[in-house]
Amino acid sequence: MIEIPLLTIISGLLTISVRLTGLMLFAPWFGSTVIPARIKAGLVLALTVLLFPSVGKGIATYSTAQWPVLIITEFIIGVGMGLATNVVFEGAQMAGEILGIQMGYSLVTILDPMSQSETKVIPVFYQSMIILLFLAMDVHYWLLKAIGSSFLSVPPGTMHLSGLFTWTVIATGGTLFGLGVQIAAPVLSATLVVDVLLGLMGKASPQMPLIVLGPAIKSILGVLILIATLKFWPDLYHHLFVESVTAGEHMLHLAR
């Protein structure tokens, strides 16, 4: 009489904690190396205890022999939801890498607060601004709400890795390059136009010191356009974050 309820509680706590762990490891901000592992573990434990009374009733009892498969599937769900949102951050990182080369800052490095490694200055600027927008827009709360709702839409042990689900995951990752170019488009377009104009001027007047003037012009123009476009960033990233969370929820529906 006691063994069955106890096994049910253990199964419920296990599935909730594993899905949350997958989210914490791969979601933006939550998965940052700046946050100590013990803090992440404590947050997973606290959220597990808070979620269990509301979602634990719908979790079936699983034997210990079923736990390995259950752990893998639950971890995949958490990872998928985290990566769907992290695509926005990776796209911004790619945009920063592209603009770092175009604006002549490819050799200027700074300590990245997210990865704790030496990174080019423009990608660090993009990452720092996006993490501030991420927190200011309460997107981290969106993720916690989405992971809580996922236990209702995809109860533990009911996930199916269909071909459509796999293709959707691949397609979501495939949008990374296009997203990076889209974010970098204003500054990238301006610097490419400058490259064309400098090339034409070099043909018309080979005596002009364009090798010296070119990088300075591109750098100044790029910074000015970057500053001018900052006011559009909240709307842009709000739209991108909404799309990323929606994509994560869409993956859950395909996994049912």
pLDDT of 238 above 90: yes
**What is the CA angle 117-118-119, rounded to 5?**
110
Residue of 10, 81, 20 whose CA lies nearest to 48: 20
Predicted TM-score (pTM) of this structure = 0.82
pLDDT, averaged across the chain: 82
The pLDDT score that the predictor gives to residue 241 is: 92
Residue with the larger pLDDT of the pair 237 and 82: 237
The pLDDT score that the predictor gives to residue 68 is: 83
The pLDDT score that the predictor gives to residue 225 is: 93
pLDDT of 57 above 60: yes
The pLDDT score that the predictor gives to residue 224 is: 93
Could you read off the pLDDT of 87-115 as tens digits, one per residue? 899 899 889 888 888 887 877 666 666 65
Q: b/e map of 140-156 (b: 16 or more CB within 10 Å)? A: eebbbebbbebbeebeb
Nearest-angstrom CA–CA distance, 126 and 92: 6
Look at 131-135, 148-152, 207-211 and tell me which has the smallest mean pLDDT.
Answer: 207-211
How many CB atoms sit inside 10 A of residue 48's CB?
20
Look at 114-118, 143-147, 232-236 and tell me which has the smallest mean pLDDT.
Answer: 114-118
pLDDT above 90 coverage of the chain, percent: 16
Beta carbons within 8 Å of 212's beta carbon, 6+ residues apart: none
pLDDT of 237 above 90: yes
pLDDT above 70 coverage of the chain, percent: 90
Instruction: Find the mean pLDDT for residues 104-133.
Output: 77
**Is residue 234 very low, low, confident or very high in pLDDT (cuts 50, 70, 90)?**
very high
How many CB atoms sit inside 10 A of residue 63's CB?
9
Handedness of CA 93, 98, 103, 106 (dihedral sign): positive
Could you read off the pLDDT of 155-189 as tens digits, one per residue? 777 777 777 777 777 777 778 788 888 999 999 99
C-alpha dihedral (76, 162, 146, 72), degrees to nearest 10:
-20
**Is residue 80 very low, low, confident or very high in pLDDT (cuts 50, 70, 90)?**
confident
The pLDDT score that the predictor gives to residue 4 is: 44
pLDDT of 63 above 60: yes
The pLDDT score that the predictor gives to residue 136 is: 92
Question: Are the CB atoms for 88 and 240 separated by under 8 Å?
Answer: yes
